[in-house]
Structure formats: structure tokens, C-alpha cells
């Protein structure tokens, strides 16, 4: 992905849209240099501004990280929805097919943007430093899954727990897989492609959520 950071022209004084430029700069640093590469000073430099300028727009580094995580959640939601929309009959598809699409979208996002997943979940952001916007972006992602689970329960396709508990089960499975994959913490069974492994895990999940 090509990330453009709006630089302040050298001859001007105010940037105009420094806040957004810093978020873009942070995303760029993150995707190029990983978590270690993300610093307020480097982001300021990319935006063509002094190292103290960001403090007019973010209380501290965590506030910038929170804004980046918010973007990450939007991308995650978009990835899941894109996979849903690519189904032949998105609205009419069965619970199994929909949940599988959401799971694939989640894993695809994680593999495409590993650094974002770490920012969202990886302890980069100190606990209790969440913002209302970040919470809302997280809820949006969660509701994409939860809506599908709730519909499955209503149809009688799913059983064995309420919508939140079964959503937690599904989220845990795909999140765990994604997280383990991007950390290279698991060696995939030799010769087994990510897609195939993902399919098997989603089947295990689906069967488990259908049983009483």
C-alpha cells in the first residue's frame, strides 16, 4: 500500500491538516518499520513540521496511536464487509457461508496489515488509553460479526450460547489464528496453505456453534 503524507510547504507556517497528516505518517512508519519504527518525532518530520508541533493535535503519543488504531478498525471492518459483499447472494447466504466470509476477511486483513493488528491489539496502546472514537470503531467491527451470529441464532442455525458468547467464540478463533500467523508463532502443517488451514478452522468453529 502506498501511503501519502501531506507535507507542510517549507515557506508556509501552518500545515492546514496536520492531524490527518500525522495519522498517515504514523501508518507509513508502522508498515515500513514495524512497531519500533513508530515515533512522534519521525511522524512530525514526515509531515514537515517540528517535533513539538504534534502536541497541538494529540495529547501524547498514545493519542496518536489511538487514532491509528481507529483507522485499523475501519480497515478491518471494510475487509470483512468486502468479503461478505463478494458472495453471490450476500443477504440470502446461509449462516455458515456468511460466517466463513467474515472469518476470511479478518484473516486477510491481518495478513495484509500485520502492524495494524499489533497496534489494535498488541499492547502498543497502553490500557485505558482508548478514545470514544476508537471504541466506536471497535464496536463497528464487532457488530459486523455479531449481527451475523444473531441472525444465525434467530434462524435456529446456531445454538449453545447467546449472541455475545458465540461471537466471542468466533472472534477468538479467527483472531487467534490471525495473531499466531503474523507472529509466525505456529508452523503451518507442511504443505498446508493458509487458505486451507483457515477453512478447516472455520469448519471446526461452525460445527461447534451449531451444536447444542
Partner DNA sequence: ACCTGAACACCGTTCAAGT
Q: Where along the sequence are the contacts to DNA (CB under 7 A)?
A: 8, 13-16, 18, 38-42, 49-53, 55-57, 60-62
Nearer Cβ to a second copy, position 6 or 182? Answer: 182
- The distance from CA 22 to its chain's CA centroid, rounded to whole angstroms, is 19
Buried b (16+ CB within 10 A) or exposed e, 74-101: ebbbebbbebbeeeeeeeebebbbbbbb
Is 118 a binding residue for a second copy by CB under 8 A? The answer is yes
Q: Which three cell numbers stand for residue 32?
A: 515500513
Please answer whether residues 28 and 45 qualify as being in contact, where contact means their C-beta atoms are separated by less than 8 angstroms: no
Q: Give the interface segment with a second copy, choosing from 16-24, 48-56, 88-96, 184-192 (CB under 8 A).
A: 184-192
Q: Give the interface segment with a second copy, choosing from 3-11, 14-22, 148-156, 172-180 (CB under 8 A).
A: 172-180
**Which residues from 26-85 bind a second copy, rule CB under 8 A?**
34-36
Q: Which does 78 bind (CB under 5 to 8 A by kind): DNA, a second copy, none?
A: none
Please answer whether residues 160 and 212 qualify as being in contact, where contact means their C-beta atoms are separated by less than 8 angstroms: yes
Residue among 16, 164, 193, 195 that touches a second copy (CB under 8 A): 164
Query: Helices (H), strands (E): how many in the chain?
Result: 8, 0
Rounded Cα gap, residues 14 and 119, in angstroms: 29
Residue among 81, 111, 121, 140 that touches a second copy (CB under 8 A): 121
Q: Which does 179 bind (CB under 5 to 8 A by kind): DNA, a second copy, none?
A: a second copy
Please answer whether residues 173 and 123 qualify as being in contact, where contact means their C-beta atoms are separated by less than 8 angstroms: no
Is 147 a binding residue for a second copy by CB under 8 A? The answer is no
Rounded Cα gap, residues 170 and 210, in angstroms: 12
Q: Give the interface segment with a second copy, choosing from 8-16, 51-59, 84-92, 201-209 (CB under 8 A).
A: 201-209
Nearer Cβ to DNA, position 50 or 135? Answer: 50
CB 40 → DNA: shortest distance, Å?
4
Instruction: Count CB-CB contacts under 10 A for residue 176.
Output: 12
Residue among 143, 176, 193, 195 that touches a second copy (CB under 8 A): 176
Amino acid at each position: 500500500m502506498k501511503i501519502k503524507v501531506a507535507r507542510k510547504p517549507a515557506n508556509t507556517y501552518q500545515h492546514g491538516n496536520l492531524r490527518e497528516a500525522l495519522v498517515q505518517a504514523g501508518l507509513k512508519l508502522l508498515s515500513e518499520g514495524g512497531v519500533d519504527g513508530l515515533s512522534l518525532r519521525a511522524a512530525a518530520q514526515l509531515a514537515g513540521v517540528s517535533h513539538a508541533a504534534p502536541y497541538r493535535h494529540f495529547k501524547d503519543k498514545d493519542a496518536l496511536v489511538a487514532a491509528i488504531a481507529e483507522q485499523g478498525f475501519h480497515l478491518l471492518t471494510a475487509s470483512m464487509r468486502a468479503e461478505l459483499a463478494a458472495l453471490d447472494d450476500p443477504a440470502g447466504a446461509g449462516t455458515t457461508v456468511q460466517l466463513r466470509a467474515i472469518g476470511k476477511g479478518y484473516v486477510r486483513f491481518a495478513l495484509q496489515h500485520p502492524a495494524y493488528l499489533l497496534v489494535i491489539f498488541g499492547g502498543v496502546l497502553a490500557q485505558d488509553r482508548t478514545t470514544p472514537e476508537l471504541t466506536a470503531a471497535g464496536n463497528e467491527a464487532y457488530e459486523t460479526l455479531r449481527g451475523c451470529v444473531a441472525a444465525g441464532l434467530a434462524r435456529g442455525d446456531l445454538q449453545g450460547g447467546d449472541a455475545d458468547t458465540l461471537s466471542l467464540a468466533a472472534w477468538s478463533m479467527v483472531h487467534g489464528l490471525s495473531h499466531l500467523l503474523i507472529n509466525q508463532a505456529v508452523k503451518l502443517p507442511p504443505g498446508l496453505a493458509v487458505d486451507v488451514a483457515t477453512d478447516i478452522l472455520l469448519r471446526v468453529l461452525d460445527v461447534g456453534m451449531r451444536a447444542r
